[in-house]
Amino acid sequence: MTQSGPQPGSRRSTNKTSNRDTRALLRAIEAAGGCLEPCRSRSGHYKVYLEGRLIGTIAGTPSEYRSRKNDIANLRRNGLQITSKGTYAP
């Protein structure tokens, strides 16, 4: 039995986040002045510090596309100068 692709309108094909997205977000955080430290208890997760205070955590491989957007929104609320797309905004 073969499995077909996603059905039109299911949005299953667009709900992907990749390591490329994660790497781009991590570069933008560093460019905006944030400091990244890997979490000890979770492999692939990062703690984000701004001016010495913890402002959020980032999953290395998020399980849902909304988690990346939620991470970006949380970092922006806590003072990191990145855009809603996750790029550095000087």
**How do residues 42-72 score in pLDDT, each as one tens digit?**
678 899 999 999 999 998 888 788 888 999 9
Mean pLDDT of the chain, nearest integer: 83
Q: What distances in angstroms separate CA 64 from CA 33, 45, 68, one per listed residue?
A: 27, 15, 8
pLDDT digits (tens, 9 = 90+) for 34-43: 999 998 876 7
Task: For residue 12, name the pLDDT band (cuts at 50, 70, 90).
Answer: low
Identify residue 48 by its one-letter amino acid code. V
In a domain, 85, yes or no: no
Q: Give the domain extent around 29.
A: 19-77
pLDDT at residue 3 greater than cutoff 50: yes
In a domain, 23, yes or no: yes
CA distance 32 to 23: 14
In a domain, 73, yes or no: yes
In a domain, 32, yes or no: yes
Domain count, the chain: 1
In a domain, 68, yes or no: yes
Q: What is the pLDDT of residue 15?
A: 46
